[in-house]
Structure 1
Amino acid sequence: MQNQATTNAKESMKKSVQVYQHEIGNVRAGKANASILNPVKVNYYGAPTPLNQMASVTIPEARVLMVSPYDKSSLGDIEKAILASDLGLNPANDGDVIRLVIPQLTGERRQELAKEVGKIAEQGKVAIRNIRRDAMEDVKKQQKNSDITEDDLRSLEKDIQKLTDDAIKEIEEASDAKSAEITEG
């Protein structure tokens, strides 16, 4: 049975999973990944502008990012923004493009990053459980107000629990994949 509470819960859980996937995409794994530059904002004509709107980011080698600005005059600003960001990357500016070499991770750093991915995963799961709690309260109110029957309530609770289990499973799979990517190097 489909109900507004389950529809809302499904949409909210989907968004939570997407936010989680975006968060772990920003965790550096020792390999070149263009998404690590997503938080970089460049001061372009006085306005903070996302780097991905000012330049194309390519991956010519496994551990190298190449930033090619659309406007060559912004090269210096892009370099400053990358240095100012807390990414720990040293840009190499050759006048046309900026090359960023991703440093090899130490074993200790890999463990720290894997723990960070685990923490982010737990936050994602908590968000999913909060959505489940709100949806369960909503269907219980509907049953109390005689909008749905007790049988409908049980059916909706099962549906909400299945949505929750599926979303948590998706988060765990993404977390396991990212942890494996980090630890394997």
Structure 2
Amino acid sequence: MNKAGEALQVQLGKIRAGVANPSILRDVTVEYYGAQTPLNQIASISVPEARVLLITPFDKTALKNIEQAIFASDLGLTPSSDGSVIRLVIPALTEESRKDLAKEVKAEAEKAKVAVRNVRRDALDHAKKEDLPEDELRKIEKDIQGLTDRGIKNVDQIASDKEKELLTI
């Protein structure tokens, strides 16, 4: 159940909120010497300004490949290169796009809640298969439900925090 919350945080970290966050580049892989390599392994990513990401490759020959990988990703960002570094300017979000992203956050939160409920179902099934006295089984079911409630509350809190971040101008 905790892993569902952690997975939600990773997923929500990829949603850009109009501010520069290196985690939006987490899934970008670059063709580097014939192998697909994560961007963060062949370049340093820093945030020099609130809405700018600065990508400095360790090997300058990889600059073109990094640019192509960013273009090919579904980030919707246009890299600008000066020959040694790449700058990614994160555009400011409009009110409409903020609301769309908030809907996306709710959808991701719902997926995480389903994952928590699936863990509950599996735990209840496992407990019922054990040959336990009925009063002990009820206690276990109550404990599992308590853990489920905490897991869902955690997911709701994570989603609420991200929505506030998105909707704050």
For the superposition of Structure 1 and Structure 2, which TM-score range results when normalised by the shorter chain?
over 0.9
Aligned-residue sequence identity (percent) comes to 55
Q: CA RMSD in A?
A: 0.9
- Please name the residue that 1:123 is paired with: 111
Matches within 5 A, 1:52-67: 52-67=40-55
Matched, 1:170 2:158: no
Q: What residue is the counterpart of 1:114 in the other structure?
A: 102
TM-score normalised by L of structure 1 = 0.88
The 4+ residue runs of structure 1 with deviation greater than 6 A are none
- The separation in 2 between residues aligned to 1:149 and 1:97, in whole angstroms, is 66
Q: Deviations over 1:5-26 (max 9, x none)?
A: xxxxxxxx12221111111111
- Is 1:154 the counterpart of 2:138 in the alignment? yes
> RCO greater where, 1 or 2, for CA within 8 Å and sep 6 or more?
1
Matched residues in 2 for 1:158 and 1:168: separation?
15
1:38-72, Cα deviation, whole Å (9 max, x unpaired): 11110111111111111111111111111111111
1:20 aligns with 8
Aligned to 1:5: none
Q: Name stretches of at least 5 consecutive residues in structure 1 with no aligned partner.
A: 1-12
Kindly state the Cα deviation for residue 151 of structure 1 after the two structures are TM-superposed: 2.1
Tell me the TM-score normalized by structure 2.
0.96
Check the 8 A contact 2:54/2:85 in 1, yes or no: yes
**What's the CA shift for 1:149?**
2.0
Match of 2:17 among 19, 29, 39: 29
In structure 1, what residue type is equivalent to 2:161? A
How many pairs does the alignment contain?
169
- 1:81-127 C-alpha deviation (Å, 9 max, x unpaired): 10111111111111121110000111111000000000000010011
Secondary structure of the residue that 2:93 maps to in structure 1?
coil
Check if 1:100 corresponds to 2:88: yes
